[in-house]
């Protein structure tokens, strides 16, 4: 018997990076996984690598009709949803606040926060019906500490923590837990491009920019998508039944006050 046998999970942004690792770990632990993201080709690759029962639904989380279609399709094909991992996110611009356009600001919030709201809004009624659910929202350590020239990203990730805490209180009586994970800088192409943008924005080398992420941590390292996936399996499982409203750091030991 696997930890998540009998569970159906939706993972947004499952075509690459952290979302792909989370989908794979949920699947290995017995869950049937719904892979939702904008990029269909990447979703197909993820599905073929899972080697297991999964459903692909191409979805733009910032578009309400697209999200409604996701949840309707899941209802029809899978019956219900036990686990929702709101992972989709964009990095937003790297610029001083006064140079950021309203369009750039809104684009970042529309995916990182509004997208999370929309998917939760349409999944919650299904979880309430079952009086069971696990919602895991991917925030960031940058939702808790300053990251100069990244105001849209940091603000959207702080908003995720407020959303999580309030939702945990709205849904506790229905047996639904809601937690955020706060990854530190995570190895992969996305962090490479963030580091590259930083090095250009601050006119420092790539290695100097990278050190600003690794040096402040206890382990002096980036973390990995697999670290976050293991944490998600725990939060989705029976082991975490009394854990809700939390924002859990997974940062290689980077701490701040």
Q: Is 111 in the site for ligand NAD (CB under 6 A)?
A: yes
Question: Which stretches within 110-205 are classed as H helix?
Answer: 115-130, 151-171, 189-202
Size of the site for ligand NAD (CB under 6 A): 28
Q: Is 39 in the site for ligand NAD (CB under 6 A)?
A: yes
Q: Report the SS3 class of residue 81.
A: coil
Q: Is 38 in the site for ligand NAD (CB under 6 A)?
A: yes
Q: Is 247 in the site for ligand NAD (CB under 6 A)?
A: no
Provide CB contacts within 8 A for 249, sequence distance 6+.
Answer: 141, 144, 182, 184, 255
Q: Which of 4, 7, 9, 15 is close enough to bind ligand NAD by CB under 6 A?
A: 15
Distances (CA, A) of 90 to 181, 217, 252: 16, 24, 22
Is the CB of residue 250 less than 8 Å from the CB of residue 227? yes
Q: Is 183 in the site for ligand NAD (CB under 6 A)?
A: yes
How far is it, in rounded angstroms, from Cα 64 to Cα 60? Answer: 8
Catalytic residue (one of 132, 153, 174, 257) = 153
Q: Report the residue number, 107 or 174, with the smaller CB distance to ligand NAD.
A: 107
Q: Is 153 a residue of the active site?
A: yes
Residues taking part in catalysis: 153
Residues forming contacts to ligand NAD in the complex (CB under 6 A) are 12-13, 15-19, 37-39, 59-62, 87-90, 111, 115, 138, 140, 183, 185-186, 188, 190-191
């Amino acid at each position: 018997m696997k930890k998540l046998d009998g569970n159906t999970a939706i993972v947004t942004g499952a075509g690459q990076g952290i979302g792909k690792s989370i989908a794979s770990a949920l699947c290995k632990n017995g869950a049937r996984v719904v892979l939702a993201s904008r990029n269909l080709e990447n979703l197909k690759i993820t599905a073929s690598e899972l080697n297991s029962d999964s459903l692909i639904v191409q979805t733009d989380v910032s578009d309400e009709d697209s999200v409604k279609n996701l949840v309707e399709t899941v209802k029809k094909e899978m019956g219900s949803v036990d686990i929702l991992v709101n992972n989709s996110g964009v990095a937003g611009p790297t610029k001083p606040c006064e140079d950021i356009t309203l369009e750039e600001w809104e684009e970042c919030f529309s995916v990182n926060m509004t997208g999370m709201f929309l998917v939760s809004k349409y999944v919650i009624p299904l979880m309430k019906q079952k009086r069971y659910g696990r919602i895991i929202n991917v925030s960031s350590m940058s939702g808790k500490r300053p990251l100069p020239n990244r105001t849209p990203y940091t603000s959207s990730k702080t908003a995720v923590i407020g959303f999580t805490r309030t939702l945990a209180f709205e849904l506790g009586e229905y047996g639904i837990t809601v937690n955020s994970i706060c990854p530190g800088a995570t190895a992969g192409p996305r962090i490479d491009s963030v580091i590259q943008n930083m090095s250009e924005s601050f006119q420092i080398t790539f290695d100097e920019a990278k050190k600003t992420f690794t040096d402040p941590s206890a382990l002096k390292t980036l973390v990995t998508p697999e670290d976050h996936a293991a944490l998600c399996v725990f939060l989705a499982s029976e082991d975490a039944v009394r854990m809700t409203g939390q924002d859990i750091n997974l940062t290689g030991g980077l701490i701040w006050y």
